[in-house]
Chains A and B, each alone.
Chain A
Amino acid sequence: DAKTTQPPSMDCAEGRAANLPCNHSTISGNEYVYWYRQIHSQGPQYIIHGLKNNETNEMASLIITEDRKSSTLILPHATLRDTAVYYCIVRPRSYNTDKLIFGTGTRLQVFP
Chain B
Amino acid sequence: DAEITQSPRHKITETGRQVTLACHQTWNHNNMFWYRQDLGHGLRLIHYSYGVQDTNKGEVSDGYSVSRSNTEDLPLTLESAASSQTSVYFCASSSELASNTGELFFGEGSRLTVL
Contacts and interface: CB of A to CB of B under 8 A. Distances in A.
Given A95-B50, A101-B44, A46 B101 contact: yes
B59 interface: yes
A94 B96 contact: yes
A32 B56 CA distance: 23
Nearest to B35: A102
- Interface residues of A, dominant DSSP: loop
Interface residues of A, number: 22
Contacts of B92: 43-44
Contact of A44 (B44, B90, B102): B90
Interface string A12-50: 000000000000000000001010100001111110010
B102 A102 contact: no
Interface of A: 32, 34, 36, 41-46, 49, 87, 93-95, 97-98, 100-105
Closest 7 CB pairs of A and B: A43-B106, A46-B103, A102-B43, A104-B42, A102-B42, A103-B42, A44-B106
